[in-house]
Chain A
Amino acid sequence: AQSVSQHNHHVILSEAASLELGCNYSYGGTVNLFWYVQYPGQHLQLLLKYFSGDPLVKGIKGFEAEFIKSKFSFNLRKPSVQWSDTAEYFCAVSPYRDDKIIFGKGTRLHILP
């Protein structure tokens, strides 16, 4: 069965630190890849997505992610985090031609002011 693994359950950083959240998936075929974010008290929203083309994708609020096919990875990065990035981040995978998305267990990111 397909699965998504997020490496860290809880990350604490100071403002201006660099961020990298790891995500690996298990599926041998073509996939669509997502990072979703849930800010405190808000609904889950799309942060960025990869469908095809350039493996380095940029999303909102300065986030980017890199798809490395050989490693089945889609890590999320941000060079300098802000207190407002405090949220829970979910990596998600959707096999091509499948309407369902498989979510990872999430990473709670806490930014210290």
Chain B
Amino acid sequence: DVKVTQSSRYLVKRTGEKVFLECVQDMDHENMFWYRQDPGLGLRLIYFSYDVKMKEKGDIPEGYSVSREKKERFSLILESASTNQTSMYLCASSLQGTLAKNIQYFGAGTRLSVL
């Protein structure tokens, strides 16, 4: 079974703090993703990484950055947290190539509250 592990289930931070959300996958997947999930808005892609040190902006990258130094680990960074970044953050991974069919596997999510 594919396992995608997010380091924290719940996180409470203060406005202006630098926040790191960590994600690790154990299936040697090339692709990793960070989404935020908000009620009524579904999943919105923040950033996508298709290889170590490679990244691509998603639909809502403002206020976020990412780091992928190792294949299995993908970090989301909030440089200066703001209250409008209070949300559920989901990490996912998938294999590359058309045979992989783009099936994404998700972590349990990190619910971040910024006060």
Contact = CB atoms under 8 A, between A and B. Distances in A.
Given A96-B98, A98-B102, A100-B45, 10 more contacts: A9-B40, A43-B108, A44-B43, A49-B101, A94-B102, A99-B96, A100-B102, A101-B102, A105-B40, A105-B42
A43 B4 CA distance: 10
Nearest to A108: B39
Interface residues of B, number: 26
Interface residues of A, number: 23
Interface in A93-111: 94, 96-101, 103-106
Nearest to B92: A44
Given A32-B102, A51-B101, A99 B41 contact: no
Contact of A45 (B31, B98, B102, B106): B106
A45 B4 CA distance: 12
Contacts of B98: 96-97
Interface in A13-49: 32, 34, 36, 42-46, 49
Interface in B29-53: 31, 33, 35, 40-45, 48, 50
5 contacts: A44-B106, A46-B103, A49-B101, A100-B33, A100-B102
Contacts of B101: 32, 49, 51
